[in-house]
A = this chain, B = another copy of it.
Amino acid sequence: METKGISKAVIKRLPRYYRYLGELLEENVERISSNDLSIKMKVTASQIRQDLNNFGGFGQQGYGYNVQHLYSEIGKILGLETTHPMIILGAGNLGQALANYSDFEKRGFKLVGVFDINPDLEGVPLRNVKIQMLKDLPLFLKETPVEIAILTLPKNNAKEIADILIANGIKAIWNFAHIDLDTPEDVIVENVHLSESLMTLSYNISQYQQEHKDRRSNS
Contacts and interface: CB of A to CB of B under 8 A. Distances in A.
A82 B209 CA distance: 12
Contacts of A3: 207, 210
B190 A77 contact: no
Interface string A195-218: 111111111111110110000000
A12 B145 CA distance: 35
Interface residues of A, number: 57
A58 interface: no
Interface in A88-119: 92-94, 96-98, 100-101, 103-104, 107, 109
A-side binding surface: helix, strand, loop or mixed? helix
Contacts of A196: 12, 15-16, 19
Nearest to A204: B188
A161 interface: no
A193 interface: yes
A194 B192 contact: yes
Nearest to A40: B180
24 contacts: A3-B207, A4-B207, A4-B211, A11-B203, A11-B204, A14-B199, A77-B206, A78-B199, A79-B205, A80-B199, A93-B93, A93-B96, A93-B97, A93-B100, A96-B97, A97-B97, A98-B194, A103-B178, A109-B202, A148-B201, A172-B204, A174-B198, A190-B197, A192-B192
B104 A195 contact: yes
A200 B12 contact: yes
A195 B15 contact: yes
A195 B98 CA distance: 10
A186 interface: yes
Contacts of A19: 178, 196
